[in-house]
Structure 1
Amino acid sequence: MFKKISSAKLSVLYYVIRWTIIIVPVAVAVGCMVTLFLWLLNWSIHYRFAHPWLLYLLPVAGVVIHFLYKLYGRSAERGNNLIIDEIHQPGAGVPKRMAPLILITTVITHLFGGSAGREGTAVQIGGSIANAIGSLFKLNESDTRIVLTAGIAAGFGAVFGTPLAGTIFALEVLTVGRIQYNALLPCLIAGLIGDVTVSAWGIHHTPYHISYVSAGQNFYGHHLTINFWLLLKTIVASAIFGLAAYAFAKAIHGVKQLSLKLIKIQWLIPVCGAIIIIALTFILGKPDYLSLGVDAEYPGAVTIVSAFQQNGADFFSWLWKLIYTAVTLGTGFKGGEVTPLFYIGSTLGNMLAGVLNAPVSLFAALGFIAVFAGATNTPLACTIMGIELFGSEHALLFAVACFTAYYFSGDAGIYSAQRTEGKWLFPKN
């Protein structure tokens, strides 16, 4: 028995040491690349703030992006879906050019005002670097799946400063209804090291704060930590968050399919998308829905940060951001979907807080994570993200919001390569 116990401990020790040796260089490299990306992204956004006329060059930027992928992209244009497919069935490989190509084209998108995010870029950087470094270790198919999954965790954890959410997101996003725990430790190492690397380079993430403090509720002489009336409002709002996630996913796929159907000359697709973005900005008279939506271009601009404040968003801010992002990504511009989802969710939460007479900062936070949960089918990861970003005081409401939105988002999802398994209240096909 002693020999069996010793053998088991040695096996665990070997497993930990082996994967640490493999994952640490992957996570450090991903963290460094994400640092460069975040620095360039911040520069491009603020450079456009100082030169608003760059928006009128968005059609030219779209043509440049189109031909960059046509000449050099090949399979890399499938982005996150390529990485997910490669994890499910290794063989085709993740091209090394994916990382620099998505980095450059995402920066171009934001420099000229396209409405996109950054998670897709970070995930693709993580997958590309993980595949390149993993190939040096001559891994088999099973280990290749693990190292690619860890690459996703490193990229996600690094770009948002949420290593635990990055860990669970990488495991949860692959197959709806199933988490593969054999990749848990490598993903945790990758998420932590990726985040630490970005921090070591001096990159700071945007802080968010919930000002509402729950006083609980008295129930027949007993003090409860949860307010049932607030919980009911959370459920109602979260159902709407789920419907918004459904609309977002359908809008992006719909714009892409409609563009391919109506416009036969492919390089004209991003040109048309850019013209729509410029026209909408001219009609609305403000640039609030361009680019990332985190930093304010001018005092009083609607941003994710302002959505946490009373009157920090317009009634239809969430809808305009949804339209802007669907047009941008659906017509071929590059970037992620998650930060726009944060914007949509937080501004929708701000609006619903007014309608339901609920705490604004709390409902902005609930929308922030819940719309993301519904659009990506990752309610557990988003619950953890809420705790990492906003603290644990409202953890129960975070979970209720994320899982409710997940159920009400139906069969929608922004990742077409995502597989399904298990049972749901509303089947996700």
Structure 2
Amino acid sequence: MNGTKKYQSFALIFGKWVCLGAIIGVIVGSTTALLLEMNDFLGDVRDRSKWVIYFLPIGGLLIGYMYMTYGKVYANNTMNDAADLNNLVIEAVHGKKTVMRRMGFIVYIGTFITVLFGGSTGREGAAVQMGGSVAEAVNRFFKVPPIDTKLILMSGISAGFGAAFGTPITGAVFGMEMVALGKLKFEAVVPCVTASFIGHYITEKAWNVEHEKFLLQTIPQMSITTIIKVIVLAVLFSLISITYCQLRHWIQKWTEKTFQKNHMKRAFTGGLAIVVLTLILGTTDYNGRGLDMLEQSFTEEVPPFAFLAKLLFTAITLGTGFVGGEAIPLFFMGATFGNALYPFLDLPLSFLAALGMIAAFCAGTNTPIAAFLLALEMFDGQGVEYFFVACIVSYLFSGHHGLWPVQTMFEPKSRLFNIENGQTIGQVEKNK
């Protein structure tokens, strides 16, 4: 009798996770389809009307006003600020803060404004934060017990990432891996897998949204020499990612201190800086998402310092209060840096771009498993050995740095770092 009750309890809990994950997947998949389609449309508008870049500072004022007026909620004796973006979602998973239900709407409007007027940004941040908002709404509507709310929030992250990039396997693992270093909460695997796969299906099949394709044309022959080159390259790509993360965080801290956390003044100033940089370079290649040059880096040589320009544009854009995502900018930096190294290495161009794209993403997000799966899904399983090595090396050599200062370390990457368990990336950087 007890055995029967256990099976019934298991079936009930399993069914609950599947149902909640499916609901989140359907909603987040649909909202992500809107995000992708609107970003494409607004990007085309900007490309046809170069003059809209001059309105970026005004767009910054609007974004700052939204976050200052509607982005803060005091709950459970804690101030929850939507301007913390993915950091707020991560802290909510750890039970320290709460994701507000309107956060997704705010970040979508902010991302549209940023893309339209030429800020350098991506999209997964908006999708992940919408996923967190939807998950929080599901938690409240179905009165999910507090012990389980973090699992639902993780499934929201998975749905957003899987739908945004058309990579459901990666999305499922990303939701479990991004919130902490050194630990995967497999208890969340059922809702995360369900939400990610259904979110992807809704975006791509139900709404007919097409994702970008990056063609890995040639794989070098396996050899010790090639493996050594991949290791060295992964270290270099991780350094690019660290440089971006540190600059972006420094700009954010400096502008918050200078303008006393007035998001309107910060974003207005950041918008002015992007306009000036655009005029100096005489090109809009580094505004918006930069998908054209990202795809071009796989097939032909691009400007050798494109990765530095994108690094600076994105660090200023997101560091001064504009919103969006950082995965695509990291893809851009890694791929174009790999492209720049092509004349000096006896390796295929598309391989260098792909390796840089994955390694830079891995180093910035501290998600080696998700990054490896991303390579498998994006490049149809080609070059699996090289991408595995690149992910491990870039993860280790990036140290305890990353995009999100609130990422908690259940265990340091290596005992050689001599760091205590339980600290956040932000705390480690501050101590250093």
TM score, norm. by length of structure 2: 0.91
Please give the alpha-carbon distance, in whole angstroms, between the structure 2 residues aligned to 1:6 and 1:334: 51
CA RMSD of aligned residues (A): 1.6
Q: Structure 1 residues 6 and 378, CA, compared in 2 at 3 Å: closer, same or farther?
A: same
Q: Does 1:294 align with 2:291?
A: yes
Matched, 1:308 2:293: no
Q: 1:198-347, aligned counterparts within 5 Å?
A: 198-199=203-204, 200-214=206-220, 216=221, 226-264=222-260, 266=262, 267-295=264-292, 303-311=293-301, 313-347=302-336
Cα distance in 2 for partners of 1:139, 1:264 equals: 38
Deviations 1:309-342 (A, max 9, x none): 231x211111110000000001111111111001
Distance 1:127 1:281 in 2: 34
Residues 151-162 of structure 1 aligned to structure 2 (within 5 Å) = 151-162=156-167
Conserved 8 A contact 1:354-1:360: no
**Could you say what secondary structure the match of 2:347 adopts?**
coil
Name the CA distance, whole Å, in 1 between partners of 2:326 and 2:219.
31
Q: CA deviation at 1:159?
A: 0.5
**Displacement after TM superposition at 1:291 (Å):** 0.5
| Change over 3 Å in CA distance of 1:80–1:265 after alignment to 2 | closer
Q: CA deviation at 1:8?
A: 5.0
Structure 2: state its 5+ residue gaps: 73-80, 418-424
| Alignment check: 8 A CA contact 2:267 2:322 kept | yes
For 2:393, which of 394, 399, 404 is the aligned residue? 404
Write the distance in 2 (CA, Å) between the matches of 1:112 and 1:424.
Answer: 39
Q: Distance in 1 between matches of 2:386 and 2:194?
A: 28
Q: Distance in 2 between matches of 1:209 and 1:6?
A: 52
Distance between the aligned counterparts of 2:101 and 2:218, measured in 1?
46
Identity %: 36
Q: Is the 8 A contact 1:79 1:124 kept in 2?
A: yes
Correspondence 1:161-180 to 2 at 5 A: 161-180=166-185
Aligned counterpart in structure 2 of residue 385 of structure 1, from 355, 358, 374: 374
> Which residue of the partner structure matches residue 219 of structure 1?
none
Could you list the per-position Cα deviations for residues 167-225 of structure 1 after superposition, in whole angstroms to 9, with x for gaps in the alignment? Answer: 111111111011011001110111000000001101000111111134x4xxxxxxxxx
Structure 1: gaps (5+ residues): 217-225, 296-302
2:142 is aligned with 1:137? yes
Given that 1:379 and 1:402 are in contact with CA atoms closer than 8 Å, whether structure 2 keeps it comes out as yes
Which has the larger displacement, 261-270 or 239-248? Answer: 261-270
Is this contact kept in 2: 1:233–1:358, CA < 8 A?
no
Name 2:125's counterpart in structure 1: 120
Verify the 8 A CA contact 1:237 1:352 in the aligned structure 2. no
Following TM superposition, by how much is the alpha carbon of 1:11 offset from its aligned partner in structure 2, in angstroms?
4.0
Amino acid at match of 2:271: A
Corresponding residue number in structure 2 for 1:223: none
Other structure's SS at 2:294 match: coil
- How far did residue 263 of structure 1 move? 3.8
Give the distance between the partners of 1:370 and 1:122, measured in 2 at CA.
22
Deviates more, 1:195-204 or 1:277-286: 277-286
Q: Which amino acid aligns with 1:293?
A: G
- Cα distance, 1:380–1:265 mapped onto 2, change above 3 Å: closer
Q: Distance in 2 between matches of 1:211 and 1:365?
A: 10
Q: 68, 80, 83: which one pairs with 2:86?
A: 80
Q: Which residue of 2 aligns with 1:196?
A: 201
Distance (Å, rounded) in 1 between the aligned partners of 2:172 and 2:261 = 41
Note the C-alpha offset of 1:135.
1.3
Poorly superposed stretches of 4+, deviation over 6 Å: none
2: CA distance, partners of 1:400 / 1:342: 18
| Residue from 51, 66, 71 that aligns with 1:53 | 51
| In structure 1, distance between residues paired with 2:13 and 2:145 | 15
Q: Is the 8 A contact 1:160 1:205 kept in 2?
A: yes
Give the C-alpha shift of residue 121 in structure 1: 0.3
**Letter paired with 2:268:** V
- In the TM superposition, residue 363 of structure 1 has moved relative to its aligned partner by 1.3
